[in-house]
Structures are given as structure tokens and as C-alpha cells.
Amino acid sequence: MSATLARRALLPLLAPLAAAALAAPTTLLGGCRRPPPVTPPPPAPTIRDSGGVGARTFDRLRELAGNWLAGELPVTFEVISPGNVMVQRGGFFVVWHPDGNSVAATVFADEGYRVQMRTTRIADEPSGELVLELATVDTGNIVPDEPIARALTMTVAAGGGQITQRWSFGQSFDAPPREIVLSRMEVRPAQAPPTPPSPSPSSPPPGG
């Protein structure tokens, strides 16, 4: 048998071996693919504690219910659902509620985004002021590079007649803060209609 005939006879046997050799790198590379990222478990739920600092602080916040003024802007605090949630309307729409041993606030901004905030510090100052420091823990419906609310410090004056809210914005708190001072509106009692004078004994009877 000539060499040419021998090569022709070996070609059908070598073709499957060549195909397997070409497929081997692909198989090896497929086996080296990175596994998909592991999704972290959600945070554990907070536990309601009616005697905890979150509940006690929210009890004090409920005393803010009523009408306020921030300059000329009317602001209202309203307790709803029944007593477990307080809504702030005016400037921002904010939903306040106790959250375990903290107080949470969900802010719905006029721009359309929302942020979930939670207290990082609650303090009863010696002066009688109540101070709440909150940080953003979750955001939604945002636009990239939008200066959304990142932190809030709220101070309730002793006696509850004034509230100062200092909002911080920006990705790295680089936007100028915004301070809002709210004063409680005085509620004037409704005046009763004047009482007509009683007739004196010397006055003649009506129609006389």
C-alpha cells in the first residue's frame, strides 16, 4: 500500500479525534465560569416594643399633631391609623412611625423620589429639647446624580411650640442643607355670641 493510500485510510479515524481536541478548550473554559453573585439575605425584621425608646419617642411626636407655619407655608401633623402613624404635610410629605427601638420616616419629595429614613440617635436634652437624628437607609424612584435627602436632624423645643428640621442632601452631603423652622399656630377659642342685656326692673315690658 502506498503512502497516499495509507493517509486516505487514516483520515476517517483522525477526524473525530480532531473535533474532540477542538472542543476540549471550550469545555474547560465553561467549567471555569464564575458562579452568579449570591443575593444577601434581607435584614431581620424589627421587633415591636411598646415600652422601648422608639415607641416612647413616637408618643411624644404624636403631641405635635396640629397646624404649624414654616414662614408663610402651612404645615400639618396628623395622627392616623389609629395612632400608629403620623403624617406631615407641607414642603415634604412624610410618614412617621415607630420601628422597633427607633423611629422611621418615609419621605415623598415633590421631585418624585422617596427615601426611607431611620433614627441613628434619639436624645432628651437637659434643656428639655427632643432631638432625633435620622439617616437614609433606602431610596427609590430616583434620578442619577439627583441631590436626594440623605439625613435629617429634627429638634422639638421644650414645650413643643417650635420644631427645627435640618435636611442634608447630595450623594456625599455635598448639597447645601435646608433648615425649616416651624412654629405652632395659635388656636383661638371660638367666641360666643354676645348675651343680650337683661331688662331692668324699671323697664316696661315688651309691647307695653
Topology (CATH) of 53-184:
Lipocalin (2.40.128)
Tens-digit pLDDT profile for residues 44-65:
888 888 889 999 999 999 999 9
What is residue 164's predicted lDDT score, i.e. its pLDDT? 97
* More confident call, 106 vs 202: 106
What is residue 187's predicted lDDT score, i.e. its pLDDT? 64
The three-class DSSP label of residue 147 is coil
Exposure of 80 by Cβ count < 10 A (0-12 exposed, 13-18 middle, 19+ buried)? exposed
What is residue 198's predicted lDDT score, i.e. its pLDDT? 56
pLDDT above 90 for 133: yes
Mean pLDDT, all residues of the chain? 82
C-alpha cell at 168: 442634608
What is residue 197's predicted lDDT score, i.e. its pLDDT? 58
The residue behind cell 415591636 is 48
* More confident call, 64 vs 11: 64
DSSP string, 50-92: TTSHHHHHHHHHGGG-EEEEETTEEEEEEEEGGGTEEEEESSS
Tens-digit pLDDT profile for residues 78-124:
999 789 999 999 978 999 999 999 999 999 999 899 999 999 999 99
pLDDT above 50 for 27: no
Query: For residues 112 and 138, what is the distance between their CA atoms, to the nearest angstrom?
Result: 15
This prediction's pTM: 0.70
The residue behind cell 331688662 is 199
Exposure of 45 by Cβ count < 10 A (0-12 exposed, 13-18 middle, 19+ buried)? exposed
